[in-house]
């Protein structure tokens, strides 16, 4: 049997009854949009995250766009961000009218805060920072907070991969003005479809985000903003509440145990496991390893032959994507050499809560038996 990156068949066996109960509840309620299920899920999520407000939206991309707009980004303002992430991170900046400014990543693959510091010292007009807590690691929040204070930045945190991750004692998303997350099915808290949320402690920002997800409507038929239609569905909220949220802590522990086994077990001169950032209590949304670029295909083939699926996160730098190059304004600082190490040499190993112990051992053995 193949060892899969994600195993929705096994997940379905675990969640089936609770999903059906959630669907039954919504069906019987006759209320499908912005009802009590969304309210209930938002309350649970904000409590779990330790934030005052959670606003359920249609997906992670919209969550980021709404977060940026609600925080007040204005057309043409520059937003410092990472070239190594889901394209949605940058797309949200562009859709909100901002100009993405890329700096390199560090050895963990997350935005390099020292480089941010250098850029911000030179480019004093940059007021926005959008870090991504990539792979389930937490960006060093103390360093982020210092940067935020020193340069009077508005920070929007992309927590699509970092639900429950902490830096020291603090959850990701709690340093900036606002955070965005995604419940895309593969994420650590995955819906059975598209969904996302905006999180903040700022009540006026939360009110604007609430309006923006619903055509910019502030009260019935009163539109103060040019908003989106990006409401979290009652169905998704009910499923998340009944069938997914109750497992989150257990599933996160399983990811951590697998990461621990990989870190102890994988010993190969050509395979490097990038370090987690200082103080990161990671939730291992992904498990990236690095190999020399010319050897990458050999590892993927070897693992494939042993029935192990692999992924890339990510195979192309965002500023090198055609959509960006041909249509929008953006800036790049430096040569992005570290980010390029990841686009050319990264391989993602299977890490999901449904892997058996034997499968974890199979992955480790397959890595160790690789003869490039
Ligand atoms: C998944 C993801 C997004 C986008 O979320 P969607 O729900 O797919 O729109 C944004 N940023 C990061 C880092 C992601 O992993």
Structural Rg of the chain based on CA atoms: 21
Ligand 1 pocket residue status of 161, Cβ below 6 Å: yes
- Residue 185 CA to ligand 1 centre (angstroms): 10
pLDDT at 357 over 90: yes
Confidence tier at 349 by pLDDT (50, 70, 90): very high
Query: Could you tell me the pLDDT band of residue 325, with boundaries at 50, 70 and 90?
Result: confident
Give the mean pLDDT of 318-323: 96
| pLDDT of amino acid 350 | 98
Measured from the Cα of 183, ligand 1's closest atom is 7
**How far, in Å, CA of 166 to CA of 169, rounded?**
6
63-94 per-position pLDDT tens digit: 999 999 999 999 999 999 999 999 999 999 99
Tens digits of per-residue pLDDT, 45-69? 999 999 999 999 999 999 999 999 9
Q: Is any atom of ligand 1 closer than 6 Å to the C-beta of 158?
A: yes
pLDDT reading at 327 higher than 80: no
> What average pLDDT does this structure show over 137-144?
98
For range 168-182, the mean pLDDT: 98
User: Are 138 and 166 within 8 A, CB to CB?
Assistant: yes
CB 157 within 8 A of CB 179: yes
The pTM score is 0.98
| Percentage of residues of the chain with pLDDT beyond 70 | 100
Q: Is 87 exposed, middle or buried (0-12, 13-18, 19+ CB in 10 A)?
A: middle
Q: What residue owns the CA closest to ligand 1's atom 6?
A: 60
* For residue 283, pLDDT beyond 80: yes
Strand 154-158 vs strand 178-182: parallel, antiparallel, or unpaired? parallel
pLDDT value of position 263: 98
Give the ligand 1 atom nearest the CA of 161. 15
64 CA to middle of ligand 1, Å?
A: 9
Give the tens place of pLDDT for each residue, 103-137: 999 999 999 999 999 999 999 999 999 999 999 99
Q: How confident is the model at residue 208 (pLDDT cuts 50, 70, 90)?
A: very high
CA distance 79 to 131: 10
Q: Given pLDDT bands bounded at 50, 70 and 90, which one contains residue 326?
A: confident
Distance CA 89, CA 81 (A): 8
Q: Is 348 in the pocket of ligand 1 (CB under 6 A)?
A: no
């Amino acid at each position: 049997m193949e060892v899969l990156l994600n195993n929705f068949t096994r997940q379905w066996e675990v969640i089936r009854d609770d999903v059906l109960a959630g669907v039954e509840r919504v069906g019987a309620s006759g209320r499908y949009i912005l009802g009590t299920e969304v309210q209930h899920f938002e309350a649970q999520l904000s409590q779990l995250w330790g934030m005052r407000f959670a606003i359920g939206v249609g997906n992670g991309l919209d969550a980021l766009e709404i977060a940026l707009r609600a925080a007040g980004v204005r057309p043409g303002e520059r937003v410092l961000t990472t070239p190594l992430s889901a394209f949605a991170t940058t797309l949200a900046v562009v859709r909100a009218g901002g100009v993405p400014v890329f700096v390199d990543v560090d050895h963990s693959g997350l935005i390099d805060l020292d480089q941010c510091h250098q850029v911000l010292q030179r480019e004093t007009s940059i007021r926005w920072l959008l870090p991504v807590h990539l792979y389930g690691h937490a960006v060093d929040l103390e360093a982020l907070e210092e940067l935020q204070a020193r340069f009077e930045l508005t920070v929007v945190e992309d927590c699509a991969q970092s639900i429950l991750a902490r830096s020291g004692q603090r959850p990701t998303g709690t340093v900036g003005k606002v955070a965005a997350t995604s419940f895309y099915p593969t994420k650590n808290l995955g819906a059975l479809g598209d969904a996302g949320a905006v999180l903040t402690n700022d009540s006026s920002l939360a009110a604007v985000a609430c309006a923006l997800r619903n055509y910019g409507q502030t009260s019935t038929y009163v539109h103060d903003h040019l908003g989106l239609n990006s409401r979290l569905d009652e169905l998704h909220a009910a499923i998340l509440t009944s069938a997914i949220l109750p497992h989150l802590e257990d599933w996160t522990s399983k990811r951590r145990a697998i990461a621990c086994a990989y870190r102890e077990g994988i010993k190969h001169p050509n395979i490097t496991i990038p370090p987690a950032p200082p103080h990161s209590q990671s939730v291992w949304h992904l498990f990236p390893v690095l190999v020399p670029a010319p050897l990458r295909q050999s590892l993927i083939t070897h693992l494939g032959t042993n029935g192990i699926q692999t992924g890339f996160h990510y195979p192309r730098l965002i500023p090198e994507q055609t959509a960006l190059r041909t249509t929008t304004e953006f800036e790049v600082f430096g040569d992005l050499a570290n980010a390029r190490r990841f686009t050319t040499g990264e391989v993602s190993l299977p890490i999901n809560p449904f892997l058996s112990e034997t499968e974890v051992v199979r992955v480790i053995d397959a890595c160790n038996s690789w003869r490039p």
